[in-house]
A and B are shown apart, each in its own frame.
Chain A
């Protein structure tokens, strides 16, 4: 990103934070959180303590950061070095990202960019040891698959773990996935180790065959379709219907313990929610602040109360639509605000600011 690009982005951000400051989710104890931000081509600045919304507003308007972060944790002294902050508690956060889902569509909308020279898909890159960065553009399949994982996760959190819907907030991450924030007081003081047990639970990691009534000596009491929790989920998936159950049980019994263990491993993968475990267990991390711009896309990290109806490529596009001219190199077409853009083969195009910002954030366009 060159200085002309930076100037353009700053303009967009100034307008954005002026108009949309109201949609930022400001926690009730803002001054207990660690605040941090990053401007283009600059190092991250963190360990900041903000007193109130007014200070947040003036910081955003003054600094015009591309990325804005807030700790999930509350501290006694948020601005001190990590070891001295004195951790109090932290929201429970789950991160679902399309890039972790091993989707077949992924390569078809991903380009490689050399981090040093910025050349796309190796064309004309003469760097000694190019640092290749994968950059993906919009894909409905990725979003739908992520939504499915969110649904799986929420079902487990609500039905098994007993977390209330009213204590849960689902956010579009602003790029490729979703963040689920849980504010339920009972869970805020869990430490990292305890959170990793929850991670294993929702991902269905480490389940023993015995939990499903399978013993080394043989199947004893395989679950019913109506059972609660994991046994029920497995039963519904393995047996399909109540009538098919006896036949399937016969087969499982004949196949034995070792085969069942393998099946279980495979199914755990399918049935468990695919989350980034590191995010949930890190109780000192700073997260993108809901309502702020995601610097990887120019879209907004925003709440989506009705995730089924949520269309991120429209609902989270809040940068203005003033036309600008950019030089774009994007070999794959993408869709924003229900409009198709690209492919662009290194040409100057007049496009709305939101699309220009999208491409610039991805390193696929420059201001001319």
Chain B
């Protein structure tokens, strides 16, 4: 692994070793999660995930030098922490793909416009780290060895990628910067995905829980219903049982049940009947409240399902062994 400068790390933050990097910058995860001065990192980390996974846009790092903090790397590291804690597999996949697309643009530009030897050397080394291929510059082109080319190009179907349609000389295939980067696209995605999946999931620290809950909710929108076991988490099942017995359920309990079901993709009309047996049932009030939670009225934000920690403190948790290791009822029954 090469030592990269701040500018490189801002463009390719996934090359930083997440675990080792935080202490290197003199931060602990607790500080990142709680320090008011680092709110900008938290916001950026969340936005990073939000932009890449929700808008389909490629995340653009802000121009360097705007702050004393290594904002891009820190926000990337924190984004991974958040994704790991929310176990949001769909978001992780999308995130890795979009981060790879972003890196692709930088690589292409650095190859094409790299003027100093150091710039080109750095890019060369980055490509080596990512794909284990040796590239070097020949005039306007970059060259890669015939076998290295074949291993990747056979997966492309356009005739332009056939070896016969390439400039080949002395065992080298000549490519422009765009083609060079295109050739290793899949490896870039794999590299970032591997980086995320191999990162340790740090213990939950307070200060991040709200963001994690939001990510779980976002993730659930991608997740087909089928991916869940049809079993409800114990807390939710307890609430359903309470209501169907005609017993009273606390306001917090109703809030939990409704946000859970909404997050699972049920609509308001499907959820309302759960509350029919409640002693104080009133259809229009129930619908009004549910619409509010679903973000269909007023402030337009859907309420996320609360974390287990919050539910525990509200005495709504009825944990069983199946709850082991989860931080939010939405994670219940999701295969790890």
Give the CA-CA distance A228 to B171 in the complex, in Å. 12
Q: Determine if B172 and A162 form an interchain contact, defined as CB atoms under 8 angstroms apart.
A: yes
Give the CA-CA distance A193 to B147 in the complex, in Å. 12
Q: Determine if B165 and A197 form an interchain contact, defined as CB atoms under 8 angstroms apart.
A: no
Contacts of A187 in B (CB 8 A): 146-147
Q: How many residues of B contact A (CB 8 A)?
A: 19
Contacts of B145 in A (CB 8 A): 162, 186
Contacts of B68 in A (CB 8 A): none
- Indicate the member of B151, B163, B167 with the most A CB atoms within 10 Å: B163
Contacts of A161 in B (CB 8 A): 146, 168, 171
| A230 in contact (CB, < 8 A) | yes
Q: Determine if A162 and B171 form an interchain contact, defined as CB atoms under 8 angstroms apart.
A: yes
Stretch at the interface among B79-87, B97-105, B152-160, B261-269: B152-160
* Chain B positions 151 through 190: 1 when the CB is less than 8 Å from some CB of chain A, otherwise 0: 1011000011011110111111000000000000000000
Q: Determine if A159 and B169 form an interchain contact, defined as CB atoms under 8 angstroms apart.
A: yes
Q: Determine if A162 and B170 form an interchain contact, defined as CB atoms under 8 angstroms apart.
A: yes
Give the CA-CA distance A335 to B172 in the complex, in Å. 45
Q: Residue on A with the closest CB to B145?
A: A186
| B4 in contact (CB, < 8 A) | no
Q: Determine if B169 and A197 form an interchain contact, defined as CB atoms under 8 angstroms apart.
A: no
Interface of A is mostly: helix
Q: Determine if A206 and B170 form an interchain contact, defined as CB atoms under 8 angstroms apart.
A: no
Q: Determine if B169 and A228 form an interchain contact, defined as CB atoms under 8 angstroms apart.
A: yes
| A350 in contact (CB, < 8 A) | no
Q: Determine if B162 and A200 form an interchain contact, defined as CB atoms under 8 angstroms apart.
A: yes
Q: A162-B146, A186-B145, A198-B150 are in contact. Are A206 and B171 (CB under 8 A)?
A: no
B155 to chain A, nearest CB (A): 9
Q: Determine if A194 and B168 form an interchain contact, defined as CB atoms under 8 angstroms apart.
A: no
Q: Determine if B168 and A229 form an interchain contact, defined as CB atoms under 8 angstroms apart.
A: yes
Q: A206-B162, A207-B164 are in contact. Are A190 and B169 (CB under 8 A)?
A: no
Q: How large is the interface on A (under 10, 10 to 19, 20 to 34, 35 or more residues)?
A: 20 to 34
| A87 in contact (CB, < 8 A) | no
Q: Determine if B159 and A208 form an interchain contact, defined as CB atoms under 8 angstroms apart.
A: yes
Q: Determine if A194 and B151 form an interchain contact, defined as CB atoms under 8 angstroms apart.
A: yes
Contacts of B146 in A (CB 8 A): 161-162, 186-187, 198
Contacts of B151 in A (CB 8 A): 190, 194
Q: Determine if B163 and A201 form an interchain contact, defined as CB atoms under 8 angstroms apart.
A: yes
Q: Determine if B168 and A201 form an interchain contact, defined as CB atoms under 8 angstroms apart.
A: yes
* Chain A positions 200 through 212: 1 when the CB is less than 8 Å from some CB of chain B, otherwise 0: 1100111110110
Contacts of A231 in B (CB 8 A): 167
Give the CA-CA distance A194 to B169 in the complex, in Å. 18
Number of A-B contacts (CB under 8 A): 67
| A55 in contact (CB, < 8 A) | no
Q: Residue on B with the closest CB to A272?
A: B164
Contacts of B162 in A (CB 8 A): 197, 200, 206
Q: A162-B171, A163-B171 are in contact. Are A207 and B150 (CB under 8 A)?
A: no
Q: A161-B146, A190-B150, A197-B154 are in contact. Are A204 and B164 (CB under 8 A)?
A: yes
- Across the interface, A197 reaches (CB within 8 A) one of B160, B163, B167, namely B163
Q: Determine if A193 and B154 form an interchain contact, defined as CB atoms under 8 angstroms apart.
A: yes
B175 to chain A, nearest CB (A): 14
Contacts of A210 in B (CB 8 A): 160, 165
Q: Residue on B with the closest CB to A208?
A: B165
Q: Determine if B169 and A206 form an interchain contact, defined as CB atoms under 8 angstroms apart.
A: no
B157 to chain A, nearest CB (A): 12
| A165 in contact (CB, < 8 A) | no
Q: A194-B150, A197-B153, A197-B154 are in contact. Are A160 and B164 (CB under 8 A)?
A: no
- Across the interface, A229 reaches (CB within 8 A) one of B147, B153, B169, namely B169
Q: Determine if A160 and B154 form an interchain contact, defined as CB atoms under 8 angstroms apart.
A: no
Q: Determine if B153 and A208 form an interchain contact, defined as CB atoms under 8 angstroms apart.
A: no
Give chain B's interface residues, CB within 8 Å of chain A.
Answer: 145-147, 150-151, 153-154, 159-160, 162-165, 167-172
List 28 A-B residue pairs with CB atoms under 8 Å apart, sorted by A's residue number: A159-B169, A159-B170, A160-B169, A160-B170, A161-B146, A161-B168, A162-B145, A162-B170, A162-B171, A186-B145, A190-B147, A190-B150, A193-B154, A197-B150, A197-B154, A197-B163, A198-B150, A201-B164, A205-B164, A206-B159, A206-B162, A207-B164, A208-B159, A210-B160, A210-B165, A228-B168, A229-B168, A229-B169
The 9 closest A-B pairs by CB, nearest first: A162-B171, A194-B150, A228-B169, A201-B163, A160-B168, A193-B154, A197-B163, A211-B165, A162-B170
Question: Contacts A229-B168, A231-B167 given; 9 further ones with Cβ under 8 A?
Answer: A160-B171, A190-B151, A194-B151, A194-B154, A197-B154, A198-B146, A206-B164, A207-B164, A210-B165
